[in-house]
Amino acid sequence: MASKLEAFTHWVNEVAALTRPAKIHWCDGSDAEYQTLVQQMLADGTLIELNQQTHPGCYLHRSHPSDVARVEHLTFVCHPDEQDAGPNNHWMDPAAAHAKIDALFDGCMEGRTMYVIPYCMGPIDSPLARCGVEITDSPYVVANMKIMTRMGAAAQARIEREGKFIKGLHSTGELDPERRFIMHFPAELSIKSYGSGYGGNALLGKKCHALRIASHQARSEGWLAEHMLIVGIENPQGETHYVAAAFPSACGKTNLAMLIPPEGYRQDGWKVWTVGDDICWMRPGADGRLYAINPEAGFFGVAPGTSDSTNPNALKSIARDTIFTNVAVTTDNQPWWEGLPGTPVTDWQGRPYDAANGAAAHPNSRFTVSAKQCPTWSEMAEAAQGVPISAIVFGGRRPSLLPLVMEARDWNHGVLMGAAMGSETTAAATGAVGVLRRDSMAMKPFCGYHYGDYFAHWLSLDQPGAKLPKIFHVNWFRKGKDGKFLWPGFGDNLRVLEWMINRVEDRVDGTETPIGILPADGELKLDGLKLDPAQLDELLDVDNAGWQNELAAIGEYLQSFTPRLPERLHQEQQRVAKALDDADAQPRREATAH
């Protein structure tokens, strides 16, 4: 025990010697500690108190205007061999990366407090959970980590017991964009982040640990660390199926995780349970099924687009004890963003609101809140063994071509569907908005190693005795010729999830097409939905010529991961392309026969 604790304290002392803080605070994760930090941040202006009558325990934080999103071009994955990082990551030699960032850390905490945050990703007693320690000079980070992880004394006890943890070192530095780096060292199980206070760059338990480092860990240990929500669908008979779903940021993940069934479904007794909204760790169980935990304890959600019409459960969750970041404020000091009623008086930078300055709330403004405050939170989120996954869903924003839903014919085909995922870019990452980019499994910014090896790892789960979930692809965002969405989305997405569960239970047959299995006539329950039959036809239409072009583009994209692209995935792409060609030739053959 002593040696395990010594390794921990030795590292903390090393960091202190490098950063030279005025004092060191070991976080215990208590509510009293949180309140002390809040009072300290209110006093120095890091936090602003919001209306305590309407939003008790809620505070606003304003980021530096240059520090409002993930910075993918400054995020590095530092494997000893550059090939292991892959074309999907920015790479730097580990020794060079340490030297570069340690020069920035040198003396950076002078006059500041250094906080030591022991934390656990996942239920504290779960064998699937993993621990980490983040050292930071930001009380804002400490407060957010208290909400987002199981942080403090219990996590420290587990670390001292196991002697294993991810080392994370963070400093806000000077918030200078020219002196900002997020470095990951998968072989060392460590992270160094300097110069940013933004969530994804500074809350090291989140994307840095739970995805980039964990994906590398998962590959070596035979599990999956994925950018997925976990939702439970309970039918009127009281049976619950758990679904894991991957979407790029701002494509409706949180809305799906907290879905409210349409009225007819509610009356029939359908319920939806929220296990997680962003990250999913899955491991094969003794019975061959995949079991999943949500490693996080809170939601770090995008505020704009969250409203009473889109996600009332999220709104209810954030009515108290929430940290808001970069939202606007109303006259009576309530948090505000586009989509909410009322009028902003101050924008996200604290300026008097002026439409000429753009949106009142930053498009990537956030809320941090405990998951337990969600009305649909499931107690199974604390289950040590996780929940069994019945279906895996991939999706993205595609205005055309991709049907509302399609099922993969087998695991290989499902991995291809995930690998081929494309979506229009959103405000969650810096850069242009509305550009189509491939984002395999929604992991492009988060996979801690070469995508070719990652696809091979996915394929490797298909082993004798495995009872793997069915894989589906959805597209809630298909548009008609008038440019309007064809599918209502939101709560009505449960209709599509019900079809998936019926497929899992072999209750419906579906229709075989070259691109996958689609709902057959009458299989999607549409009662109470004003949907023109022509709209449904368009939603489920398979445009052969368009798909031939898509498969060619997918093939080109996959080739960018050679020589590490698994041959099985290339063969699967070729199989679908041939099926499309054969289907295209069929009508010609029939016409010739007549």
Check the annotation: does 207 bind a ligand.
yes
Tell me which residue of 489, 498, 527 sits closest to 263, measured CA to CA. 527
pLDDT (0 to 100) of residue 442: 96
Check the annotation: does 493 bind a ligand.
yes
Cis omega (within 30 of 0) for bond into 248: no
Domain limits of the chain?
Answer: 2-46+70-221, 225-296+378-543, 299-373, 547-593
The yes/no answer on whether domain 2-46+70-221 falls in CATH 1.10.760.10 is: no
Q: Which CATH architecture has domain 299-373?
A: Beta Complex (2.170)
Which stretches in the chain have pLDDT values below 70?
1-3, 250, 425-434, 587-594
Residue 89 CA to residue 108 CA, distance in Å, equals: 27
Strand-pair category, 224-226 with 335-336: unpaired
Q: In what helix (H) or strand (E) does residue 470 lie, and over which residues does it extend?
A: strand 470-474
- What's the distance, CA 186 to chain centroid? 20
Residue 91 CA to residue 79 CA, distance in Å, equals: 7
What fold, for 225-296+378-543? Phosphoenolpyruvate Carboxykinase; domain 3 (3.90.228)
Residue 146 CA to residue 168 CA, distance in Å, equals: 15
Exposure of 209 by Cβ count < 10 A (0-12 exposed, 13-18 middle, 19+ buried)?
buried
One fold for 225-296+378-543 and 299-373: no
Check the annotation: does 492 bind a ligand.
yes
pLDDT (0 to 100) of residue 427: 56
Check the annotation: does 422 bind a ligand.
no
Contact in structure between 362 and 326 (CB atoms under 8 Å)? yes
Active-site pick, 108, 131, 251, 447: 251
Check the annotation: does 418 bind a ligand.
no
Check the annotation: does 250 bind a ligand.
yes
Check the annotation: does 397 bind a ligand.
yes
Check the annotation: does 252 bind a ligand.
yes
Contact in structure between 228 and 280 (CB atoms under 8 Å)? yes
Residue 194 CA to residue 182 CA, distance in Å, equals: 6
Helices (H) and strands (E) in the chain, counts: 17, 29
Q: Within 13 A of 1's CA, how many CA atoms are on the CB side?
A: 4
**Residue tagged 């071009």 (tokens):** 73
Count Cβ atoms below 10 Å from residue 61 Cβ, excluding itself. 20
Q: Which two tokens stand for residue 294?
A: 């949500």
pLDDT (0 to 100) of residue 457: 98
Check the annotation: does 546 bind a ligand.
no
Residue 179 CA to residue 135 CA, distance in Å, equals: 19
**pTM of the predicted model, to two decimals?**
0.96
pLDDT (0 to 100) of residue 589: 52
Q: What is the three-class DSSP state of 395?
A: strand
Check the annotation: does 199 bind a ligand.
yes
Which residue type is seen at 221?
E
Asked about 108 being catalytic, the answer comes back as: no
N-terminal to C-terminal alpha carbon distance within the chain: 83
pLDDT (0 to 100) of residue 14: 98
Check the annotation: does 490 bind a ligand.
yes
For 143-249, strand residue ranges (E) read 150-151, 166-171, 181-185, 190-194, 224-226, 228-234, 240-246
Strand-pair category, 130-136 with 113-121: antiparallel
Which residue type is seen at 213?
I
Check the annotation: does 372 bind a ligand.
no
